[in-house]
Amino acid sequence: MPGGRRGPSRQQLSRSALPSLQTLVGNNLGNGTGLRNRNSNSVGLSAPPLTALITPEPVRHSRIPELPLDSSLLFEFLLFLYLLVALFVQYINIYRTVWWYPYSHPAASTSLNFHLMDYHLAIFITVMLARRLVWTIVSEVSQSGGGSLLRYVVLIAARLSLLTMCGWVLCWTLVNLCKNHSVLNLLFLGYPFGVYVPLCCFHQEGGKGQTAPVDCDYPADHQQAELAETPFFRPRDFFFLLRENLREQFSSPPHMPIHTCPPHTHSHTPELIRAEVEELKSDFNRRIKEVLFNSLFSAYYVAFLPLCFVKSTQYYDMRWSCEHLIMVWINAFVMLMSQLLPPSYCDLLHRSAAHLGRWQKLEHGSYSNAPQHVWSESTIWPQGVLVRHSRCLYKAVGSYNVALPSDVSHARFYFLFHKPLRILNLLIWIESSVVLYQLYSLLRSERWNHTLSLGLILCCNYYVLFKLLRDRIVLGKAYSYPLSSNGLGLKSQ
């Protein structure tokens, strides 16, 4: 009203109604965590670190029981036995006959056309499939080389005899195959090795000493230019590659990374967590590469190579043979994954992902009135905090976040392993789908070779599915158990 007392202006009301930022977080802002207002101007000069203001919730881990895992020798033997059964099934599909016809027909006197089979090819495939079993036996013998001198000499002689016999059989079959087949067919024998060597020689996964330090202040384009000029992208020496592969095959099993829950008060904890994640990523990628190569290698020699040596006058069911090829690859993939990624290893990845955390990228303009911080590599960020990094706004998703917001590999690592049963559920889904499809095919099969093939393969798949379901039931109960009761919760301290 005119002449009346004027009320407080809108600007004065906003300043008096809301407490100041200094009242909320202290008089100073430091450690690179300055708050930003709507105009992205930092407020305050130096402040206590964010971890002193908002303590992140301690990461708790579930204790899982030690599930029985097949030894390396037992697993390689079972895998070799399964591949032999699959090879036998493929030969039945190719060389089957109508053996129930009267014996007046020469081709129907036996269940298979044995006179059309190439025994040298079958022996060559068997030796190639037994390579992992032979190397495992040699490794076990090498590791148990203790005791008297006589025992050591006997072990060395047995190892050399086994390798010499395998090499002689391989050379003998190759010589006979060269006499009876064309050059084009012979090229199929070594095709997997021709693919494996370039993949290993031109790999772009560096070692520990080749990774750039985390605290580098170089621009992104300068780092890319330096990486492109380093030998990190050059092909490795072929003989050096062979020497390393032989050393890995005949040495002890690969080192299993160890996870230690870091203390919250340690100043270098985020760097240690990120370094541990990088080591686990390299180890996981190496295991996945081994699974993919060995599963494709097994499917190639079991189901595809026999088709390449079939005579042009020989008829076989192409659809059924291709279907068998896919089934062998899937089953070998699941078997290798369950052995190379056991529950203890998946739990290790899950614990590391829980400490790594994840950032969600937000659109520009969202959360403009909320306090925003500048991301710092030495800070442990709690859940729900907004940070700015590389001109982008991110929101902390995990309860414990030390990941680099712009690093896609960190987000992928958290997505894959923040749920400990994700990989196991995927393997169960794949194997269950295969078993159900084979049961459906068995019910609809009308040929004797289809019934026999499905019956033999299903016996092997039942064992794999049983182990996966056993692990899923036990781990599901372990991870669903309350962490705060009976001391099952392990604080990351």
What is the identity of the amino acid at 444? Answer: R
For tokens 């033997």, name the residue.
Answer: 77
Q: What span, in angstroms and rounded, lies between the C-alpha atoms of 327 and 456?
A: 13
Residue 61 pairs in a beta bridge with 490
Q: Count of CB atoms within 10 A of residue 97's CB?
A: 16
Q: What span, in angstroms and rounded, lies between the C-alpha atoms of 291 and 79?
A: 13
The DSSP bridge pattern shows strands 386-389 and 373-374 to be: parallel
Residue 381 pairs in a beta bridge with 401
Q: What span, in angstroms and rounded, lies between the C-alpha atoms of 284 and 241?
A: 20
Predicted pLDDT at 257: 63
Q: What span, in angstroms and rounded, lies between the C-alpha atoms of 463 and 459?
A: 7
| Contact by Cβ (8 Å): 386, 370 | yes
Residue 218 pairs in a beta bridge with none
Q: What span, in angstroms and rounded, lies between the C-alpha atoms of 116 and 41?
A: 82
Q: What span, in angstroms and rounded, lies between the C-alpha atoms of 157 and 150?
A: 11
- Residue 96 per-residue DSSP state: B
Nearest Cα to Cα of residue 279 among 217, 228, 211: 211
N- to C-terminal Cα distance for the chain? 65
R_g (Cα) of the chain, nearest Å = 31
Q: Which residues of 104-117 are buried (b: 16+ CB within 10 A; e: fewer)?
A: eeeeeeebeeeeeb
pLDDT in tens, the chain (493 residues): 455 545 544 444 334 333 333 333 333 343 444 444 444 444 433 344 454 445 666 677 788 888 888 888 999 999 999 999 999 999 998 888 766 555 555 555 677 777 788 899 999 999 999 989 988 888 887 776 556 777 777 778 887 888 888 889 989 999 998 888 888 888 888 887 776 666 655 444 444 433 333 333 333 444 344 433 444 434 445 556 555 555 554 444 455 566 656 554 444 488 888 888 899 999 999 899 889 989 999 999 999 999 988 887 778 888 999 999 999 999 999 999 999 999 999 999 998 888 888 888 888 767 667 777 888 888 888 888 888 888 888 888 888 888 888 888 888 998 999 898 999 999 999 999 999 999 999 999 888 888 999 999 999 999 999 999 999 999 999 888 876 544 444 433 3
Give phi and psi for 459, each to the nearest 5: -60, -40
- Residue 43 per-residue DSSP state: E
Nearest Cα to Cα of residue 185 among 196, 174, 200, 197: 174
Q: Which residues, in sequence order, are CB contacts of 313 under 8 Å at separation 6+? A: none
Helix axes 119-129, 131-143, angle to 10 degrees: 40
Q: Which two tokens stand for residue 458?
A: 């299903």
Q: Which residues, in sequence order, are CB contacts of 59 under 8 Å at separation 6+? A: 261, 351, 354, 355, 399, 400, 491, 492
CA–CA–CA angle 362, 211, 195 (5° rounding): 100
Identify the helix (H) or strand (E) that includes residue 434. helix 422-444
Q: Which two tokens stand for residue 487?
A: 């001391």
**Full DSSP string of 395-412:** EE-SSSB-S-TT-HHHHH
Q: Which two tokens stand for residue 69?
A: 């895992």
